[in-house]
Structure 1
Amino acid sequence: MGKITAGSFGRARQPASVSLYRSWRPKTFAELVGQDAVVKTLTSAITKGRLAHAYLFSGPRGSGKTSAAKILARCINCVHGPTAEPDNTCENCLAILEGRALDVLEIDAASNRGIDEIRELREKVKFAPSTMRRKVYIIDEAHMLTREGANAFLKTLEEPPEHVVFIMATTEPEKLPVTVLSRCQRYSFRRIAIPVMLERLRHIAAAEGFTFTEEALGQIAYRADGGLRDALTMLEQAAAFGDGQVDAETVAAAFGQSTREWARSLVQAVCDADAAAALDAVSGASDAGAEMVNLMREVISSLRQLLVARLNPEVLASELAPEDARWAAEHAEGVPQGRLVRGLKLLADAMADARRSGLPRLELEVAMLRLLLAADEAPAAKPEPHAAPAPPKPEPRLPAPAQASPPPPAPAPAPAAGEPSVQKVLGIWEQVRARVAERSAPVNGMLAAAEPRSVSGGVLTLEFTNTIAADAVRDNAPLVEEALLDLLSVPLKVSIHVQKRAPAAHGASGGAGRAPSIREDGSDLLDYAFKKFST
């Protein structure tokens, strides 16, 4: 990654109306920051004389794709080339830099995407270059080509004249036909890492004479989301707003309140398990006009960073500014890993629910309360002042035979500290079934025959009177356990108990072919269907 002096080309911009990102556009591969792998490969290919006839540069916006294409065009057509280091002073290089080269054409595929434009291009490539070594066609936004246009381009792309080089740039390579991709050498451009972007912003801001703070540059770098062009545009706008002064207040006034500070407050509340602080942060963000969905996205990103800091802190070095990486490493050790994982899942669900409900603030608040009150919920529960009523017994359906029936299960023991009672499980049982139904409707149907009987030692006992339903739920117990964990915030294992019913007395039902009455739990219907279809 090459260093750029203040006098290299930043001071070379003549017209005052030229944007900052255009005047500081890199002119050599050494000045192309953050793309070391691409630079190394292209430089080696040029040095060894192994130029391809078609290139595809793909990557996020503002990562240097078009700049690299123009540098490559100068490398090919420099008077002293082909060379990996164009001098940018010869007539050919100056013509390309000033946009007046007849043999280097930049085409916007978004407005020249049809088959007629491609046919015209096919006719033009036949002619030899007028003054330069090769004709270079830079096709920007290549994914915007129509299917017909791309198909018409295939033969020319596969076997172009020797004097033609195609360089296509796109942010969405997956939209290009496979037949186009297979005919190009593909180079993937990466997002610009935060430390690299900060170093670049410092250099340019100092060279332009701006007065800036590190906090302001950090806010700009995070807002740019890996795009250096976006960062330079925001730097120029903030400097214009602050009359050359770029600080945190100027950035906030120019682009609106950032959600990063509110997200930091929410993450701090998660670290401290402070539900009240979390609600205060959500309220403050809402009053400041922050977009709640963006805030949820920022909190998810911050929780992920804490989780990564626990597992592999080195990964954060390329994602965060040094002070933010230190903050994440310091706070990650004090947060249980399970709380971070659960927070990620709850907030991801809240984002999805917010799109459906249209109440993003409510979804965020509920998610934070479910996350932070989970640890307090069970210990806070106190025994009822009066004895809990015994579970209702199933109504007798048929007279019992003379022989003794199996003894009923022992009464549910009192729950241990931090363990939900069976009454609490009964209160949310319909929600458990709804969660299971989202994953497997058949298992939910079998749960209709289940009745929660007891909770003891982290085990929930479900009682069945039908062996088919019991076996089906036993095989899919993880679905039920996951739903219980989501709703109770306490891990419970599921144990299946089958309560066998006594056989019916002969003649009591009034006919063997007549279906018995169907209980609400559906168990009689399962027995009846099994008997009918197994005979």
Structure 2
Amino acid sequence: MAHIALYRTWRPQAFREIVGQKHIVQTLQNSLREGRFTHAYLFNGPRGTGKTSAAKILAKAVNCLKGPAEEPCNECANCIRITEGAVMDVVEIDAASNRGVEEIRDIRDKVKYAPTEVRHKVYIIDEVHMLTTEAFNALLKTLEEPPAHVMFILATTEPHKIPATIISRCQRFDFRRVSLDEQVERLREVCREENIEAEEEAIRFIARLSDGGMRDALSLLDQIMAFSGKTIAYDDVVAITGGMAGDQFEKLVHAVKRRDVGAVLKLVDDFMQEGKSADKCMESLLYYFRDLLMVKMVPGSQAVTDRIIDIKPFAEVAESFTTQELISMIDTLNYYQTEMKYSVQPQTLLEVALMKLCSTQGGEASEAGGARAAEPAPDGLINQLKGRIQRLEEQLSQLLKQGVAPAAPNSFGGGGASGARPASAPVAIKKIEKLDGYLEGKDTDETREALQRWSQVLGRVKEQKITIHAWLVDGEPVSVSGGNLLVAFKSSMHRETTEKPANKQLIEQVMNDVLGTPLHLVTIMMKDWKAAAEQAKPAEAAKEELKLVAEDEPNAVKEEWIHEAIQMFGEDLVKIKED
């Protein structure tokens, strides 16, 4: 008999078999018991957490010959045939491959007819977020006025891509990641029933790698069984999955602690020779340093004991680092892991990241964390602050003589100590000078036309490459000037990705096609654009006020600047001296 994958063999056939979703199971069973089930459900959650399985069980429960009941009997003709997929009135649709409006219109035309084999027609639409806008519109009409005999169950991993008008017509259930303990218990049960001898450490490692997905855990177990047979050891799991054993981590971290770059690079080369991928090594390293930090800061936490079987080696390694060193190392690894996604040489980035840890560990990391030895004495710090305040007062005085309005607090520079805010004034003024052309062009016909056609630009970009559209949709065109289109972004990550040469070239080509004018894409953060626009207003207002001041009232402008200075520095730091 042909082998059937474990995740298919152990797919839940009743609500009681669904792992880790007690809150959803209880709600659905209560509604079935009271006969209060609705016409549309939305099952949302990470992959492999039971969304489609729950949908099929619900379809059986409402059509069971002994029901509707809290649990399908799985013995009657209806339950058996629905399980086999042989009932024409229970339809499972993959929206990833049937995403067009025609497929949904076909459903809309058929729902009006009564079911022929069971009580309720049930349409299970998997990955529903993949439907096109037109298909969603066609589906919306059906959800608004559904026949009494029809039930829709929509499943998705990305609910934010579904129109709010669809979501509002469904009962939404959020499936959560299955906890480590629940996964371990389920894997133990599978091993018991399949006569597999597995080490406890191996089972926990499989559960940890699955990242909360029960299906992923069973697929990994199946893969490891193909290698190890009926006896599964921890070392086998590490070898098959491309992970790194704890002792390998320990060697690597000790080499980093010693700043032994040669040993670090040799270990990385060994990992690559063993067939491990650089991105997997980086991910495992992040988890390892996260565990070290947890052991150091909250040694008795449940979050630690769930993930670490033998905590003693972790405690010993963690003891050799300060908390700030570990946090700094995690930041470094996280940065390079993000860069890996866009790199054709991930191994090089892994090596660079580890060399960076060797060079900054105990050095720059300590400085970033405010090491006590590097902190200035209190008197020295006070003198520094006094000197800074004096320089800022001189800068402000010079600005006032030039007739330039001071920058508003928090503009461009963001937060920080109140004494440091005025230092951003010259920087802000410099930025405004560069933005003069854009500020003047924000209300022109060219800018208005770009705003009107921006949705067409986004639509064309989405057709050519949906990933670029996902970044660009965060931006908003704010001005056209000098052959450039300035787009303001709310997220710095979206802006940086849009600025990548390949992405930028595609966007500019689409802009030229849609707008009919060759324009270059220029980007800015939305907060900076708004700050520049606000800063330009006081400068214009100040010019107008200067024209209105009478000759016998020379102190009017002066009083205004004094008020501005007090707003920026506070009354304690401003001293008014008569000329």
Measure, in 1, the Cα distance between the counterparts of 2:421 and 2:120. Answer: 75
| Structure 2 CA distance for partners of 1:42 and 1:495, relative to 1, 3 Å | closer
> In structure 2, what is the Cα distance between the partners aligned to 1:351 and 1:101?
48
AA aligned to 1:238 is I
Maintained 8 Å contact 2:252/2:264? no
Helix, strand or coil: the match of 2:36? Answer: coil
User: Please, which of 16, 23, 29 is the counterpart of residue 43 of structure 1?
Assistant: 29
Structure 2 Cα separation of the partners of residues 229 and 79 of structure 1? 30
Task: Give the SS at the match of 2:306.
Answer: coil
**Aligned position for 2:111:** 125
Structure 1's 111 and 494: CA in aligned 2 closer, same or farther, altered over 3 A?
closer
Note the C-alpha offset of 1:480: 12
2:118 corresponds to 1:143: no
- Residue 401 of structure 1 corresponds to which residue in structure 2? none
- CA deviation after TM superposition for structure 1 residue 148, in Å: 0.5
The alpha-carbon distance between structure 1 residues 354 and 119, as it changes in their structure 2 partners (threshold 3 A), is closer
* Amino acid aligned to 1:284: L
Match of 1:274, SS? helix
Partner of 1:168: 154
1:158–1:183 contact (8 Å) kept in structure 2: yes
Q: 1:376 to 1:55 in 2, by over 3 A?
A: closer
Q: Which moved more, 1:261-270 or 1:238-247?
A: 261-270
Equivalent of 1:316 in 297, 303, 307: 303
Match of 1:108 among 77, 94, 98: 94
For 2:270, which of 287, 311, 335 is the aligned residue?
287
1:347 aligns with 2:333: yes
1:265 aligns with 2:250: yes
CA distance 1:363–1:204, change in 2 (3 Å): same
Distance 2:270 2:232 in 1: 25
1:274 pairs with 2:260: no
User: Deviation of residue 215 (structure 1)?
Assistant: 2.4
User: In structure 2, the residue corresponding to 1:288 is in which secondary structure?
Assistant: helix
Q: Distance in 2 between matches of 1:320 and 1:249?
A: 20
Distance of aligned partners of 1:226 and 1:468 in 2 relative to their CA distance in 1, 3 Å threshold = same
Q: Taking structure 1 as reference, are residues 345 and 481 closer, same or farther at Cα in structure 2, changes over 3 Å only? A: farther
- Displacement of 1:495 after TM fit? 13
Matching residue of 1:363: 352
DSSP 3-state at the match of 2:124: strand
How far apart are the structure 2 equivalents of 1:79 and 1:120? 28
* Match for residue 188 of structure 1 among 159, 174, 179: 174
Instruction: Tell me which moved more, 347-356 or 93-102.
Output: 347-356
Relative distance call for 1:102 and 1:114 in structure 2 (3 A) is: same
Task: Report whether the alignment pairs 1:84 with 2:73.
Answer: no
| Residue number among 359, 362, 373 corresponding to 1:373 in the alignment | 362
Quote the Cα distance in structure 1 between the aligned partners of 2:365 and 2:172.
Answer: 54
- Is the contact made by 2:293 and 2:323 (CA closer than 8 Å) also made in structure 1? yes
Structure 2: gaps (5+ residues): 400-405, 424-542, 548-579
Structure 1 residues 94 and 31: CA distance shift in structure 2, 3 A: same
Against the structure 1 CA distance between its residues 250 and 300, is the aligned structure 2 distance closer, same or farther, given a 3 Å change threshold?
Answer: closer
**Residues 377 and 279 of structure 1: CA distance in aligned 2, closer, same or farther (over 3 Å):** farther
Q: Determine if the alignment matches structure 1 residue 21 to structure 2 residue 4.
A: no
**RMSD between superposed Cα atoms in Å:** 4.1
Counterpart for residue 164 of structure 2: 178
Contact 1:198 1:218 in 2 (8 A): yes
- By how many angstroms is 1:346 displaced? 2.8
Q: Deviations over 1:390-424 (max 9, x none)?
A: xxxxxxxxxxxxxxxxxxxxxxxxxx954699xxx
The structure-2 alpha-carbon separation of the partners of 1:121 and 1:285, relative to structure 1 and needing over 3 Å to count, comes to: same
Conservation of the 8 A alpha-carbon contact between 2:39 and 2:150: yes
Q: Could you tell me how far apart the structure 2 residues matched to 1:268 and 1:457 are? A: 40
In structure 1, the gaps of 5 or more residues are: 1-14, 379-415, 422-453, 483-492, 498-532
Q: Distance in 2 between matches of 1:377 and 1:305?
A: 20
Q: Does the Cα contact within 8 Å between 2:43 and 2:51 map onto a contact in 1?
A: yes
Mean Cα deviation higher: 345-354 or 76-85: 345-354
Partner of 2:69, secondary structure, is coil
* Residues 1:63 and 1:281: Cα distance change in structure 2 (over 3 Å): farther
Residue in 1 that maps onto 2:218: 232
Question: Within 1, Cα distance between the matches of 2:237 and 2:373?
Answer: 51
Q: 1:250 to 1:302 in 2, by over 3 A?
A: closer
2:237 is aligned to 251
| Contact persistence 1:75–1:85 (CA under 8 A) | yes
Question: 1:371 and 1:198, CA in 2 relative to 1: closer, same or farther beyond 3 A?
Answer: farther
For the residues of structure 2 that align with 1:481 and 1:282, how far apart are their CA atoms?
40
SS at match of 2:259: helix
Rounded Cα–Cα distance in structure 2 between residues aligned with 1:219 and 1:334: 26
Q: Quote the offset at 1:351 in angstroms.
A: 3.3
Seen in structure 2, the aligned counterparts of structure 1 residues 356 and 201 have a Cα distance that, compared at 3 Å, is closer
Matched, 1:203 2:131: no
Task: Note if 1:467 corresponds to 2:395.
Answer: yes
- CA contact 1:211–1:244 (8 Å) conserved in 2: yes
Would the aligned equivalents of 1:459 and 1:495 in 2 still touch at CA under 8 Å? Answer: no
CA–CA distance in structure 2, aligned partners of residues 240 and 88 of structure 1: 31
Match of 1:64 among 47, 50, 54: 50
Contact 1:464 1:496 in 2 (8 A): no
Contact 1:55 1:187 in 2 (8 A): yes
Cα pair distance change 1:356/1:237, threshold 3 Å: closer
**307-316 or 239-248, larger mean C-alpha shift:** 307-316
Q: When the two structures are superposed, what TM-score results if normalisation uses the length of structure 1?
A: 0.65
Query: CA offsets, 1:169-190, max 9 Å, x none?
Result: 1111111111111111111111
Provide Cα deviations, 1:55-81, integer angstroms capped at 9, x if missing partner.
011111111111111111111111111
- 2:61 — aligned with what? 75
Query: 1: distance between equivalents of 2:43 and 2:311?
Result: 31
**What's the CA shift string for 1:458-487, capped at 9, x where partnerless?**
9586684943399999x88xx8999xxxxx
| Equivalent-residue separation in structure 1 for 2:143 and 2:73 (angstroms) | 30
CA positional deviation for 1:455: 6.7
Q: Determine which structure has the larger helix proportion and give its number.
A: 2
> Cα 1:373–1:332, aligned 2, differ >3 Å: closer, same or farther?
closer
How many percent of aligned residue pairs carry the same amino acid? Answer: 38
Aligned partners of 1:480 and 1:240: how far apart in 2? 56
**Contact 1:265/1:278, CA 8 A, preserved across alignment:** no
1:137 CA displacement: 0.9
Q: Distance in 1 between the 2:359 and 2:398 partners?
A: 31
Q: CA deviation at 1:23?
A: 1.0
For 1:320-359, what per-residue CA distance to the aligned partner results, in whole angstroms no more than 9, with x for missing partners?
3461678767876775433333333333333345567753
Q: Deviations over 1:245-294 (max 9, x none)?
A: 32233324433x30464784379549xx8233687456413421143444
Whether the 8 Å CA contact 1:350–1:367 is kept in 2: the answer is no
Q: Which amino acid aligns with 1:274?
A: K
Q: Would you say the 8 A contact 1:313–1:329 is kept in 2?
A: no
2:285 aligns to what? 299
Question: What SS does structure 2 have at the residue aligned with 1:137?
Answer: strand
Q: CA deviation at 1:371?
A: 4.3
Show the counterpart of 2:202.
Answer: 216
Partner of 2:84: 98
Distance across 2 between alignment mates of 1:101 and 1:316? 45
* Distance across 2 between alignment mates of 1:26 and 1:269: 45
Compare CA radii of gyration and give the structure with the larger one. 1
Secondary structure of 1:138's aligned partner: strand
CA distance in 2, matches of 1:215, 1:163: 50
Is contact 2:260-2:358 (8 Å) kept?
Answer: no
> Structure 1 pair 458/118, CA: closer, same or farther in 2 (3 Å)?
farther
What TM-score, normalized to structure 2?
0.61
- Partner Cα separation in structure 1 for residue 267 and residue 398 of structure 2: 50
Residues paired across the two proteins, number: 404
Q: Secondary structure at the match of 2:181?
A: helix
- Sort the Cα spacing of 1:355 and 1:186 in 2 relative to 1 into closer, same or farther, 3 A: closer
CA contact (8 A) 1:347 1:364 kept: yes
Q: Is the 8 A contact 2:325 2:362 kept in 1?
A: no
Give the match's secondary structure for 1:187. Answer: strand
